Amino acid sequence: MKLSIPLIFCFQKKKYSMMMILIISLMWMISILMKNMLPTFISMIHYLDFLSTIMISLTILSTLLILMSMNYSNSNFMLTSIMIILIFTFLSSKMFMFYILFELVLIPTLTLISKSGKQPERLQAGMYLIIYTVMASLPLLIGILLLKSNNSMIFLSMSCYYFKFPLIFMLAFLVKMPMFMFHLWLPKAHVEAPLEGSMILAAVLLKLGGYGLIRFMPMLSSSIKSIPLWLISISLMGAFYTSMMCIRQKDLKALIAYSSVAHMGLVLSSILTMNLIATNGSIIMMMAHGLSSAALFFLVNLIYTKFHTRNMLIFKGILNSHPNLTFWWFMFTAVNISAPPSINLISEIFMLMGLISWKTSMIMILASISIMTSSFSIMLYVMISHNNSPILISENVNSKFFLSLFCHLFIILFMVIKLELMIFY
């Protein structure tokens, strides 16, 4: 016991040092954004532009908030590894380097799930993660190697090419987002992952698919004239179906995981339209969803540490026992349904404008998706807060955990004020 106190103190010191480094890095990235910079090469294989700056800022910010949310943990090395790999992935200017880092991030993610998870099903979840993502990424590698003969390995020098099978480039990103029908690995990974695993997976790793699609779409624009229509149709129908699945979920982690599939369906549809407004909306939604879903997973973890279950039928009615916790559930379920003044509302308006201008007949399905996503979020809040509580007395939640939730909410609201930082022209 006497030895453990200095060790924990040393850990906390290292943790706060790392947090200071991340804060300084984040301030530097925000200053770059404010200059509205053009693509700038940092080295022969690394460059910064608007999109990579946004994604790196999200990565640093998410890691900082995860560190604030964690107590003493053995997962810091894996978390740091994921952050570093993601930053270099977003900085990559060459396709082959991007592919290597795109796949390399799976190793610490798999280790985090299989080593830090609590249930024996974590091994099955890890297997699903590897099989889905690696098998879908192999066609991308083949496509990149085919492009090598044309000396078109740098993103900025890409021009339009006609590919007979453009889906070989897109499949890896569709699985990573994930698109409906390729989404089975995500609920399993979320349910079995520890807190930091769920937060980093929801905040940044899902956004790799959207980032890759936005990077490759200019090159594929002449090859996918008929593909976007049926891909968008599947994505939107999948978003509606997964929203319906959320209504019947009792496990909180599974519910939030399926809600991520619904939101990513809208993001994918917006990117595939190749409409500037819709693409802007998808980038803002990726940023907003990364913060709001990470906060929801943190709230689920707080519930689990108090009641030792994630089943809504067991711990319903926490308004009586934990009114302060209920307040944060209300705020983030409101953000999840894109209530004003959150940045989620702006992103959803942009995406709906882009999709409706692309195809007016989509109004009905888009309205249905909006209603269903709002329905399960309202149901989630009502179920856990306003029912008769079987637990009348319980220990209060430590107020230090609310600092992380406040930071999540503050950033979501602050982005509305500085919306010009999130829009490219």
pLDDT of res. 4: 38
pLDDT of res. 9: 34
Q: How confident is the model at residue 400 (pLDDT cuts 50, 70, 90)?
A: confident
pLDDT of res. 320: 77
- In the numeric block, the tokens 């991520």 are attached to 260
Query: Is residue 111 within 8 Å of 126, Cβ to Cβ?
Result: no
CA distances from 366 to 11, 22, 348, 369, 418 (A): 48, 38, 10, 5, 27
How many domains is the chain partitioned into structurally?
1
Q: Which two tokens stand for residue 102?
A: 């795109």
pLDDT of res. 5: 37
pLDDT of res. 18: 61
Does some domain include residue 319? Answer: yes
Angle of helix 207-220 relative to helix 167-176, nearest 10 degrees?
A: 160
Contacts of 76 (CB under 8 A, 6+ apart): 15, 18, 67, 70
Evaluate if residue 30 carries a pLDDT over 80: no
Q: How confident is the model at residue 339 (pLDDT cuts 50, 70, 90)?
A: confident
Evaluate if residue 395 carries a pLDDT over 90: no
For the segment 271-295, the average pLDDT, to the nearest whole number, is 90
CA distances from 303 to 253, 308, 311, 401, 407 (A): 11, 8, 10, 12, 19
For the segment 102-113, the average pLDDT, to the nearest whole number, is 89
Contacts of 60 (CB under 8 A, 6+ apart): 22, 25, 26, 29, 83, 87
Evaluate if residue 353 carries a pLDDT over 90: yes
Does some domain include residue 95? Answer: yes
Percent of the chain with pLDDT over 70: 80
Does some domain include residue 248? Answer: yes
Does some domain include residue 12? Answer: no
Counting Cα atoms < 13 Å in the Cβ hemisphere of 223 gives 17
Question: What's the chain's Rg over C-alpha atoms?
Answer: 21
Does some domain include residue 169? Answer: yes
Evaluate if residue 305 carries a pLDDT over 60: yes
Does some domain include residue 354? Answer: yes
Evaluate if residue 140 carries a pLDDT over 80: yes
User: What residues pair up with 251 in beta bridges, in sequence order?
Assistant: 311
Evaluate if residue 52 carries a pLDDT over 80: yes
The parent domain of residue 100 ranges over: 18-421
pLDDT of res. 54: 86
Q: What is the largest CA-CA distance in the chain?
A: 69
pLDDT of res. 215: 86
Does some domain include residue 235? Answer: yes
Does some domain include residue 81? Answer: yes
> 37 — phi, psi (to 5°)?
-75, 155
Q: How confident is the model at residue 330 (pLDDT cuts 50, 70, 90)?
A: very high
Q: Which two tokens stand for residue 77?
A: 């090395």
pLDDT tens digits, 145-196: 877 765 556 665 555 566 667 777 788 899 998 888 888 898 888 888 888 8
Evaluate if residue 38 carries a pLDDT over 80: no
Evaluate if residue 389 carries a pLDDT over 70: no
CA quadruple 350, 351, 353, 358: dihedral positive or negative?
positive
pLDDT of res. 367: 92
User: What residues pair up with 92 in beta bridges, in sequence order?
Assistant: 46
For the segment 276-285, the average pLDDT, to the nearest whole number, is 91
Q: How confident is the model at residue 333 (pLDDT cuts 50, 70, 90)?
A: very high
pLDDT tens digits, 356-375: 998 888 899 999 999 998 89
Q: How confident is the model at residue 11 (pLDDT cuts 50, 70, 90)?
A: very low
Q: Which two tokens stand for residue 78?
A: 């894996």
Evaluate if residue 391 carries a pLDDT over 60: no
pLDDT tens digits, 109-120: 888 888 776 777
pLDDT of res. 71: 62
CA distances from 246 to 192, 235, 254, 303, 376 (A): 18, 16, 8, 19, 6
pLDDT tens digits, 192-218: 888 888 888 888 888 899 998 988 887
Between the two ends of the chain, the Cα-to-Cα distance in Å is 58
Compute the distance between CA of residue 294 and CA of residue 195 in angstroms, rounded to an integer. 9
